[in-house]
Structure 1
Amino acid sequence: MRVSGVAVMGGGRNGRGTLVRTLALVFLATLLWLQFHVASLTSRSSSPPSGNESLLMLVPQELHRFLKDRRNSTAGSNSTAGISGNLTISELRRQVEKANLEQRVFNEEAFGPLASDAPVIVIQVHARLTYLRHLIVSLAQAKGIEQTLLIFSHDVWDPDINFLVQSVDFCRVMQIFYPYSIQTHPHTFPGEDPNDCPRNIKRESALVKKCINAEHPDLYGHYREAKFTQTKHHWWWKANRVFDQLTVTKNHVGMVLFLEEDHYVAEDFLHVLRLMERTCKHSCERCNILSLGTYLKTYNYYADNKKAEVTPWISSKHNMGMAFNRITWNKLTDCASKFCSYDDYNWDWSLQHIAQGCIPSSQGSGGLSHIQSGLIAMVMKAPRIFHIGECGVHHKKNNCEPTAVIEKVQNVLKTAKKHLFPSQLTLTNAAVAKKTKLRKGNGGWGDIRDHQLCLNITLNPELRLP
């Protein structure tokens, strides 16, 4: 019995020991599990936000609606493929024609008729929805934006872009659609006709092949590419449309400011535009074009916040955020034949060509009397308009995410905030050579069909192609 009792008591101790060891193992396993998940959560919370989260963090809460995709949206892609809402070409053309004929001004009932001298802002839009969203957010934060008319000029019919534009509620809005786009003419001129000459074919071979434009390569021996010629046609069409065709701007005498979908504006850009306009009248009668942007990488708002420079307009320096009025526009259209025949697919290089070789230079105050140029620019040294586009027609990168660039621009403006809204401008004359050599064009515009379309747009922006 004693042996039996000992055996029973020993079994009890072993059972309790096993239970203790099991509980200890469960406790350690639970502790390790908790440590792992706490570390995981900590790591997750300390990791940088995603691109979309960063974009939302950069703007005021009430403007987040402009950055979010609409439900069941195909937005987010910068491709033009499939974004016409599955419309046929004929249906697409009818939609474009209907919108252009209607000339609807959104929000006019809320803001009233446009003042004749109020700024008109014309934005050239392709298909980069993300950039356009941030431009709209910056415009929404600008002081005095409710006085303006925003005209979005599109060369792509995209339901998501249309939805975004029509959701703008902080000022008057209009949409116009370039009617001769690649999208509306995918297989005929001004798009790519199957019988067009390939870009790099030799002229002799093109003549043998008898392709449509064999007789008209550009000055470098290349044939037209519609994706490049479209930009110049679109720019010229929208300017003709705004100044000479739209009912809402037919009596407009103020400044027309030209932006693109990948620009970003400072909150005082309209204030500065008004200042520049007044300063032109009083201190620089020769200044006929205003430039609020720059491609320089560094700026000093403390020293330069109210400084503007008077200089001959140079396409590569002063084409961003430029503005002019109807008087300047009439000078440009007087030189339409030279603009339309100049062998360069860039609208800004073509403007510089006519500025140096067609538009007469004017005399008056503002210095630079020795410069023979028809376009004299007043340029802000501390910019109010920025370029945020990482990718586009000329630039292709693996990463086109705009977050970093936008964040940089916002930090610049945040630092400069107390130096914005100057009360007056101080003018200086740029040091420039007495003679500026006329530059050779970049080509891409040798086809006489492009020349004729451009000139026809000048004579009648509402012409119809087959």
Structure 2
Amino acid sequence: MLRFFSKLWMMQLVLYRPFFLFLVTLLGVMLLVFVLRIHSVSNTVFRASDEGFESNYTISEFIERPKLPKQTKLSVSLDKRNRLPPRNSDLFPKLSKDHITIVLYVHNRPQYLQVVVRSLSSVEGIGETLVIVSHDGYFEPMNKIIKDIRFCQVKQIFAPYSPHLFPDSFPGVSPGDCQDKDDPAKKNCKGNPDQYGHHRSPKIVSLKHHWWWMMNTVWDGLEETRQHSGHILFIEEDHFIFPNAYRNIQLLTRLKPQKCPNCYAANLAPSDVTSKGEGWERLIAEKIGNIGYAFNRTIWRKIHTKAKDFCFFDDYNWDITMWATVYPSFGHPVYTLRGPWGSAAHFGKCGLHQGHGDKGACIDNGAVNIKVEENDKVANIKSEWEVHVYEHQAGYQAGFKGWGGWGDERDRQLCLDFAYMYHYKDTPPLG
């Protein structure tokens, strides 16, 4: 009897052997796929230059539909203009392959804007790309300067929730808002003070709101760029751009994966705005500066996951917020790659909300005193150069508590709304 059952068991083993082999093979393949997926995610997290981190990105922690303010007639009309196609496509019908889009974000300093536009018109290769101009509010003198551009494709977008567009309601000045250091209990007013006891100023909070809205819109909202996998270069209205800037940023972004794979960005100028560069025959890796910086979608996704850190830090400056809380939260040094000579320069003499109008102009005799040398007219970066790394640089670091101006819960919520306004299926892209 025992011999009978032994033979029977052997016959069943032979009969089902192919099935067992198939099952073991399938489990092995599944385990291999799982390991490879973990390895690929690890590379995505730690290799800042990786271009492949698009995947199916979602913000799982945000589950509510964004509650954006009710728009005014002007903001609605500007929102519609955001969907218009770029101009000058008849003059420049095709963008170059792997072009680097340029985003110029502006406020209300026409004399400054004239300088940067004039400098852009002399940039080698500018006709190969698209320039997107992001406006903080609507100001006709600023609008006219951009409408006169003829040297490249250009698209204007207007922040539809800019405080400048809401004269009687949030995010502008609302009736009953607390002012300065008002005590809400005594004044019966609304608002949350910042860490220094000051209540919100719409003109000040617009700086951070505009930058964050612009970033979310350019990367995730615009038809022209929401599928863009390469780098995007960001400049401001008080940045003078040298003729070699576009060619140099092309070189830097091309060299970054090999020369500095852990660099998050490429910069056209040193982080020290008073420096023109070292003049060495070496590339420089240092902290990310706020003049002429370019990064790809991989880095944007990483920044985007830190929306709460960005939106709740009590400082109205976007760049200080990034330096003091967002970058440090990544857990390792954040570097950018640049050349030894600046290809852009900051020329502003006074604050962001000054410099408009003839009497209040902050430019000497209506011009800037920036000399363009022969070295600034041609690409001056070489692929064989080694990289010099600046460590432990001075400036805003983790632990800085912020300059304030960003304590009102309404501003923080609007900032969060911007972070996920394009992450709903029924949200149409801005074309």
Give the TM-score category using the shorter length. 0.7 to 0.9
Tell me whether 390-399 or 184-193 shows the greater mean CA deviation.
Answer: 390-399
1:453 aligns with 2:414: yes
Contact 2:180–2:200 (Cα < 8 Å) also in 1: yes
Contact 1:114–1:248 (Cα < 8 Å) also in 2: no
For 1:391, which of 343, 350, 357 is the aligned residue?
350
User: Residues 95-244 of structure 1 correspond to what in structure 2 (within 5 A)?
Assistant: 95-100=77-82, 102-115=83-96, 117-201=98-182, 205-213=183-191, 216-244=192-220
User: Residues 236-385 of structure 1 correspond to what in structure 2 (within 5 A)?
Assistant: 236-294=212-270, 295-297=272-274, 299=276, 303-304=279-280, 306-313=281-288, 318-360=289-331, 372-373=332-333, 375-385=334-344
User: Alignment partner of 1:105: what SS?
Assistant: coil
CA, structure 1 residues 138+431, in 2 after alignment: closer, same or farther (shift >3 Å)?
same
Provide the C-alpha distance between the structure 2 equivalents of 1:142 and 1:418, rounded to a whole number of angstroms: 8
Contact 2:167–2:173 (Cα < 8 Å) also in 1: yes
Contact 1:149–1:172 (Cα < 8 Å) also in 2: yes
Deviation, structure 1 residue 151? 0.5
Deviation, structure 1 residue 436? 5.7
CA, structure 1 residues 335+208, in 2 after alignment: closer, same or farther (shift >3 Å)?
same
Provide the C-alpha distance between the structure 2 equivalents of 1:152 and 1:356, rounded to a whole number of angstroms: 26
Amino acid at match of 2:100: P
Query: Which residue of 1 is the match for residue 392 of structure 2?
Result: 432
For 1:444, which of 390, 405, 414 is the aligned residue?
405
Deviation, structure 1 residue 256? 1.0
What do residues 279-331 of structure 1 show as CA deviations (whole Å, max 9, x unaligned)?
A: 21111110011221244445367x33x53321233xxxx11111111110000
Deviation, structure 1 residue 91? 4.1
Contact 2:285–2:387 (Cα < 8 Å) also in 1: yes
Contact 2:243–2:378 (Cα < 8 Å) also in 1: no
Query: Which residue of 2 is the match for residue 59 of structure 1?
Result: none
Provide the C-alpha distance between the structure 2 equivalents of 1:269 and 1:405, rounded to a whole number of angstroms: 23
Provide the C-alpha distance between the structure 2 equivalents of 1:329 and 1:267, rounded to a whole number of angstroms: 27
Provide the C-alpha distance between the structure 2 equivalents of 1:396 and 1:159, rounded to a whole number of angstroms: 15
Amino acid at match of 1:449: R
User: Alignment partner of 2:160: what SS?
Assistant: coil
Contact 1:123–1:260 (Cα < 8 Å) also in 2: yes
What do residues 383-432 of structure 1 show as CA deviations (whole Å, max 9, x unaligned)?
A: 111112223337779863424695421x2x23644775334354201142
Provide the C-alpha distance between the structure 2 equivalents of 1:404 and 1:431, rounded to a whole number of angstroms: 40
Higher share of residues assigned helix: 1
Provide the C-alpha distance between the structure 1 equivalents of 2:319 and 2:196, rounded to a whole number of angstroms: 19
Contact 2:348–2:362 (Cα < 8 Å) also in 1: no
Greater RCO between the two (CA within 8 Å, min separation 6)? 2
Provide the C-alpha distance between the structure 1 equivalents of 2:366 and 2:274, rounded to a whole number of angstroms: 12
CA, structure 1 residues 281+400, in 2 after alignment: closer, same or farther (shift >3 Å)?
same
CA, structure 1 residues 237+116, in 2 after alignment: closer, same or farther (shift >3 Å)?
farther
Amino acid at match of 1:251: Q
CA, structure 1 residues 190+116, in 2 after alignment: closer, same or farther (shift >3 Å)?
farther
Contact 1:258–1:322 (Cα < 8 Å) also in 2: yes
Provide the C-alpha distance between the structure 2 equivalents of 1:98 and 1:134, rounded to a whole number of angstroms: 28
User: Residues 72-87 of structure 1 correspond to what in structure 2 (within 5 A)?
Assistant: none
Contact 1:335–1:359 (Cα < 8 Å) also in 2: no
Contact 1:320–1:385 (Cα < 8 Å) also in 2: yes
User: Alignment partner of 2:90: what SS?
Assistant: helix
The RMSD of aligned alpha carbons is 2.7
Query: Which residue of 2 is the match for residue 92 of structure 1?
Result: 74
Contact 1:339–1:353 (Cα < 8 Å) also in 2: no
Provide the C-alpha distance between the structure 2 equivalents of 1:151 and 1:421, rounded to a whole number of angstroms: 26
Unaligned runs of 5+ in 2: 1-70
User: Alignment partner of 2:330: what SS?
Assistant: coil
Amino acid at match of 2:344: I
What do residues 329-358 of structure 1 show as CA deviations (whole Å, max 9, x unaligned)?
A: 000001111111111111111112343443
User: Alignment partner of 2:294: what SS?
Assistant: strand
Contact 2:72–2:166 (Cα < 8 Å) also in 1: no
Provide the C-alpha distance between the structure 2 equivalents of 1:436 and 1:400, rounded to a whole number of angstroms: 33
User: Alignment partner of 2:165: what SS?
Assistant: coil
Query: Which residue of 1 is the match for residue 68 of structure 2?
Result: none
TM-score computed with the length of structure 1 as normaliser: 0.69
CA, structure 1 residues 404+293, in 2 after alignment: closer, same or farther (shift >3 Å)?
farther
Contact 1:299–1:382 (Cα < 8 Å) also in 2: yes
Contact 1:116–1:253 (Cα < 8 Å) also in 2: no
User: Alignment partner of 1:259: what SS?
Assistant: strand
CA, structure 1 residues 309+394, in 2 after alignment: closer, same or farther (shift >3 Å)?
farther
Amino acid at match of 2:81: A
Amino acid at match of 1:439: F
Contact 1:116–1:254 (Cα < 8 Å) also in 2: no
Provide the C-alpha distance between the structure 2 equivalents of 1:199 and 1:296, rounded to a whole number of angstroms: 31
Identity %: 32
Amino acid at match of 1:421: N
CA, structure 1 residues 404+431, in 2 after alignment: closer, same or farther (shift >3 Å)?
farther
Deviation, structure 1 residue 442? 1.2
Amino acid at match of 1:93: S
CA, structure 1 residues 105+339, in 2 after alignment: closer, same or farther (shift >3 Å)?
same
Q: How many residue pairs get matched?
A: 349
CA, structure 1 residues 430+394, in 2 after alignment: closer, same or farther (shift >3 Å)?
farther
Provide the C-alpha distance between the structure 1 equivalents of 2:418 and 2:142, rounded to a whole number of angstroms: 25
Unaligned runs of 5+ in 1: 1-88, 361-371
